[in-house]
Structure 1
Amino acid sequence: MRVFPASIPLDGRTIILAGSGFMADAKARLFVNSPARLKWFTGRNADPVPHDLAQVAEVYDREPTRSDLRGATLVFIAGGEPRFIDRLARRARRRGALVNVVDSPAESDFQVPAIVDRDEIVVSVASGGSAPVLSVDIRSAVEQVLPANVGILAGLARELRGTVKSVLDKFDDRRAFWERALRGEARDAALRGDRAAARRLMLKTLNEVQPEKTGIVHLVGAGPGDPDLLTLKAARLLREADVIVHDRLVSEGVLNMARRDALRIDVGKTKGHHPVPQEEIGDILVREARKGQRVVRIKGGDPFIFGRGGEELDVVRAAGIDAEVTPGISAALACAASAQVPLTHRDHAQTVTFASGVVKSGGPDADYETLAAPNATSVFYMGVGAAPQIEAKMLAAGRAGATPVMLVENGTHDNERRILTRLDSLADTVVRERVHGPSIIMIGETAALGQVTAAAQTELQETYA
């Protein structure tokens, strides 16, 4: 984080603006609906001040003096000769003000972020002055999803905060109240613009007997790792979670969407190294939920596709705890999309089958007769270590040795790697290319349609010429 987006309360503050023209107008408009006192020094022979801004600012047709700067919190300098800018900035700083020289980040104490203004709710997007156009584009995206009346809801929360604190002594009780009030009927009324109804419903919620806090476990799919591929519901559950139990395949970008104060429990496993046994993971879920916590058990990909989500769901249900499942984009789908491998194709594959390269000790093996069928795509999870066995069993079941194979290592991550080979070279390729990261292996004619490096594509064309 190169810049810290602090919030400055504006009640009782004085803002100084020096200069005229469109840049000064833009800075003045930031404070049109604020409680701050805006003193605007346009200088002599300046451009006319727009009528709407003249109504909210104290306008002076001269330069600010030392006494004008007394008590100022922020000083904006919009244009002028370098000597004037330097002199005014030094005077302002000596009086404790922060200075912004418009369009000159290096000379400024702070930069003005792109702002989404919803009255009580203000969202700022800052780039440290390096990319203001990008900040504006991000602000536009935020404006599209942030309800216009969300400020009403925040205003009521501020107004009633003292009342709530006097009624509910315990922090956990207050937090539970605000969760119900700000996510229930009161919220809906506020977002409709009905402030009176929202206030009435908040007080009604406050006067109701609060239900005993009950825990819940959410099994959530984190997708393949790219935070942009996380579902909206999964992102919301992460923000609301009290406890997050996560695997090693859940990326840091996904975990960063969670509340900072949420308890994180790492139960990640690697091949041959299970520091937290599966039975203990179930115990953790039950223990935390029985405390009344909202527990998110988040797994890479989808929890019900080779994620042992079914086993964990059984444990939670057997303990009498509510559970919900939120799907994620499975690694097979994400890697296929990233490599542009169509898993089904009218000309090449009428079926697709997902299989695990690792099976339970003593348990049944995958059905290789089905996996080796022609005109089909077979996708193997956890197949890197089992590549020799997969190759041998697929060949023994009748799949041709020249069948294209696409390996995608670290799919959707910055270090994603795609390797195109043949079925009868699968095991050798894994060793030669030193494939160690989490990988998906796609076997079938459609694998040849994927996108790899130009050199690899040329090699493939020569192979199948």
Structure 2
Amino acid sequence: MNFLPLFHDLRGRRCVMVGGGEIALRKLRQLIAAGAAIEVIAPEISPSIRNLAPEQPLTLTCRKFEDSDLNGAVLVIAATNDTAVNRRVSELAQASNIAVNVVDSPELCSVIFPSIVDRSPIQIAISSAGTAPVLARMLRTRLESSMPAAYGKLAALAGKYREQVKHKIADGISRKAFWEDVFDGDIAELVYAEKISEAESRIQQKLSNPTSNKLGEVYLVGGGPGDPDLLTFRALRLMQKADIVLYDRLVSKEVLALVRRDAVLIYVGKTAGDHPVTQDNINEKLAEFALQGKRVLRLKGGDPFIFGRGGEEISHLAEQGIPFQVVPGITAASGCASYAGMPLTHRDFAQSVRFITGHLKENSLDLNWQDLVSPNQTLVFYMGLSGLESICRELIRHGKAPETPAALIEKGTTVNQRVFVGDLKTLPEMVRDANAKAPTLIIVGDVVKLHEKLSWFKQ
């Protein structure tokens, strides 16, 4: 490797910034965050840097660089647009064994600034040795997306109890297992949820009896409408933690592929008229596995609290004192409408939106149709494929114009998405002829007119 990664303690130490423009400002912010004592030297110093000076350990010297400016420095950065000045700073610094960084000139550097993932005291530095800084920043972004913001707090908590754990658990292997359980268990989850005092209580309990049986936990996670890119960071993290996964038929294979590879997968999906696993069975399984100390993921399509019966499942867990977390997902209405270019509300077309279950019960729909035909609203029917003809017929019968725009979205947000656009009169035949398959979503209202103009997702 061309550079050895090191973490440099700059707190209170003299660092020199040669240059006073916007390029210098970017590096300056990192030095400030590290607690350095900084002198900025440049003939002209930007207002942005001057505004920082009153509140930060900055000395501003408004003149040209002089050789003696490096005296006592542990780090110097050259960030000017004058190649000769930058080269002179580099030569002087290296002759005096002072670490030097010349912005955008790796050949003049003895040290380089990495892209940093900062979860202090946890830090990750990424470098391309100056060859591809944009790529390094992209890698940093990907790492940041997978690291909870509270990692630093978790590390601080570990530091607080490190000596106690070392005294209580003398065996190194057992101590390692203890910390792995802390960092990948319910204590870490409490920290991520900003419940620091509860996390401390739990770690103290664990220390008092390190071998005690622990209760598992259930993660009720919304998997969104199908596109895995729509998952939340917390959903991805919990999907990677679970020992057992109970998933339904609306979870796309792409989303399911992101769960931990060695997790046990249990299908508990239900379709119209076919319920091989009842809701009571699912509730009992969640509790049973958690009582065995397992981390259980209940993965649902869309959002678990919108026609997902998630409330029933966590009520059952709460009654038994089983801990759980709920992670919202992007509901099908929002995801599918967005990908189809149909805003659910729009100042010119709809000032409200209704989410309605279109699931047939005994071959009929018992809905307040008169309320649903009010103007200036968007209607979204979940699970309405089998009842599409009834939905369109009843809306027309109760006063909606047959020409009211209507659409059905099949497998929304996925590469197999299909959008059928018509009106209340024509949509049922259009969908029937196309042999559309579940999962689908029906949207009724004037916002459907915007599909052709606003649709961005290419089918």
Deviation at 1:341, TM superposition (A): 1.3
What are the equivalent positions in structure 2 for 1:247-396 lying under 5 Å apart? 247-361=248-362, 365-396=366-397
- Whole-angstrom distance in 1 between the partners of 2:154 and 2:293: 30
Deviation at 1:444, TM superposition (A): 0.8
Structure 2: which amino acid aligns with 1:411?
A: G
Pairs within 5 Å for 1:106-255: 135-142=135-142, 166=171, 175-179=180-184, 183=188, 207-210=207-210, 212-255=213-256
Provide the C-alpha distance between the structure 1 equivalents of 2:224 and 2:137, rounded to a whole number of angstroms: 26
CA distance in 2, matches of 1:375, 1:292: 51
Write the distance in 1 (CA, Å) between the matches of 2:181 and 2:441.
43
**CA separation in 2, counterparts of 1:404 and 1:151?**
52
Paired residue secondary structure (2:265):
strand
- Judged with a 3 Å threshold, the aligned counterparts in structure 2 of structure 1 residues 287 and 362 are, in CA distance, closer, same or farther, namely farther
Which whole-Å CA distance do the structure 2 matches of 1:298 and 1:315 have between them? 17
CA distance in structure 2 between the aligned counterparts of 1:355 and 1:151, rounded to whole angstroms = 42
Distance, in Å, in 2 between the alignment partners of 1:31 and 1:134 is 19
Native 8 Å contact 2:249 2:269 kept in 1: yes
Secondary structure class of the residue paired with 2:290: helix
Partner residue in 1 for 2:452: 451
* d(CA) in 2 for partners of 1:273, 1:137: 49
Cα 1:204/1:435, change in 2 over 3 Å: closer
Partner amino acid, structure 1, of 2:269: G
After superposition, give the CA deviation of every residue in 1:293-316 in whole Å (9 maximum; x if it has no partner).
222211111112111223323433
Say if 1:368 and 1:203 are closer, same or farther in 2 by CA, change over 3 A. Answer: closer
Q: 1:231 deviation in Å?
A: 2.1
Matched-pair contact (CA < 8 Å) for 1:352–1:379: yes
* Counterpart contact for 1:238–1:259, Cα < 8 Å: yes
Q: 2-side partners of 1:272 and 1:178: how far apart?
A: 44
Structure 2 counterpart of 1:401, which letter? P
Aligned-residue Cα RMSD (Å) equals 4.7
For normalisation by structure 1, the TM-score amounts to 0.60
Q: Using the alignment, how far apart are the partners of 1:436 and 1:293 within structure 2?
A: 36
1:28 aligns with 2:10: no
Number of residue equivalences: 347
The CA deviation string for residues 137-166 of structure 1, in whole angstroms up to 9 with x for no partner, is 42131465668979988x989999999582
Checking the alignment, whether the CA contact within 8 Å between 2:116 and 2:123 is kept in structure 1 is no
- Do the aligned partners of residues 233 and 202 (structure 1) sit closer, same or farther apart at CA in structure 2, a change above 3 Å counting? closer
Show the counterpart of 1:436.
437
Deviations 1:111-150 (A, max 9, x none): xxx9989999879899xxxxx7885342131465668979
Q: Distance in 1 between matches of 2:177 and 2:244?
A: 15
Displacement of 1:265 in angstroms is: 1.6
Q: CA, structure 1 residues 163+55, in 2 after alignment: closer, same or farther (shift >3 Å)?
A: farther
CA distance in 1, matches of 2:357, 2:186: 46
Provide the secondary structure at the position in 1 that maps to 2:402: coil
How far the C-alpha of 1:394 sits from its partner, in A, is: 1.2
The whole-number CA distance in structure 1 between the counterparts of 2:139 and 2:348 is 45
Shift in Å, 1:429: 1.1
Q: 1:269 to 1:347 in 2, by over 3 A?
A: same
Q: Match for residue 409 of structure 2? A: 408
Unaligned runs of 5+ in 2: 8-90, 100-114, 194-200
Contact kept? 2:407, 2:422, Cα under 8 Å: yes
User: What is the CA distance between 1:329 and its match in structure 2?
Assistant: 1.2
In the aligned structure 2, how far is the partner of 1:447 from the partner of 1:185?
Answer: 43
* Equivalent residues of 2:116, 2:140 under 8 A apart: no
Per-residue CA deviation, residues 52-89 of structure 1 (Å, 9 max, x unaligned), is: 9x999xxxxxxxxxxxxxxxxxxxxxxxxxxxxxxxxx
How far apart in 2 are the matches of 1:124 and 1:434?
Answer: 51
Tell me, what secondary structure is at the counterpart of 2:392?
helix
Gaps of 5+ in 1: 1-26, 34-47, 57-113, 127-131, 189-200, 455-465
Q: Any conservation in 2 of the 1:177–1:206 contact (CA below 8 Å)?
A: no
Give the Cα separation in 1 of the matches to 2:313 and 2:186: 32
Structure 1: distance between partners of 2:252 and 2:127: 24
> In structure 2, do the counterparts of structure 1 residues 353 and 115 end up closer, same or farther at CA, with 3 Å as the change threshold?
closer
> Which residue number in structure 1 is paired with residue 423 of structure 2?
422
* Contact 2:246–2:266 under 8 Å retained in 1: yes
Give distance in 1, aligned partners of 2:336 and 2:191: 43
Query: Aligned to 2:441, what secondary structure does the other structure show?
Result: strand
Alignment CA distance shift 1:294-1:143 (3 Å): closer
The answer (yes or no) to whether the contact 2:341–2:453 under 8 Å persists in 1 is no
Q: Is contact 1:356–1:366 with CA below 8 Å preserved after alignment? A: no
CA distance in 2, matches of 1:290, 1:416: 40
CA contact (8 A) 2:369 2:395 kept: yes
SS in 1 for 2:442: strand
CA distance in 1, matches of 2:302, 2:345: 20
Pick closer, same or farther for the CA change 1:121–1:342 going to 2, 3 Å. closer
* Change over 3 Å in CA distance of 1:420–1:389 after alignment to 2: same
- What is the letter of the counterpart of residue 425 of structure 2? D
Measure, in 2, the Cα distance between the counterparts of 1:171 and 1:273: 48
Give the drift of 1:365: 1.3
Could you tell me how far apart the structure 1 residues matched to 2:251 and 2:315 are?
22
Verify the 8 A CA contact 1:186 1:202 in the aligned structure 2: no
In structure 2, what residue type is equivalent to 1:29? Answer: F
1:17 paired residue number: none
Give the C-alpha shift of residue 31 in structure 1.
6.0
TM-score normalised by structure 2 residue count = 0.61
Partner of 2:29: none
Q: Counterpart of 1:345 in 2: which secondary structure?
A: coil
Which range moves more in the overlay, 133-142 or 378-387?
Answer: 133-142
Say if 1:427 and 1:243 are closer, same or farther in 2 by CA, change over 3 A.
Answer: same
Q: Which amino acid aligns with 1:422?
A: D
Give me the whole-angstrom Cα distance separating, in 2, the residues matched to 1:187 and 1:318: 24
Change beyond 3 A, Cα 1:227–1:367: same
SS in 2 for 1:310: helix
Cα–Cα, structure 1 residues 150 and 345, in superposed 2: closer, same or farther, change >3 Å?
A: closer
Alpha-carbon distance, 1:278 to partner: 2.5
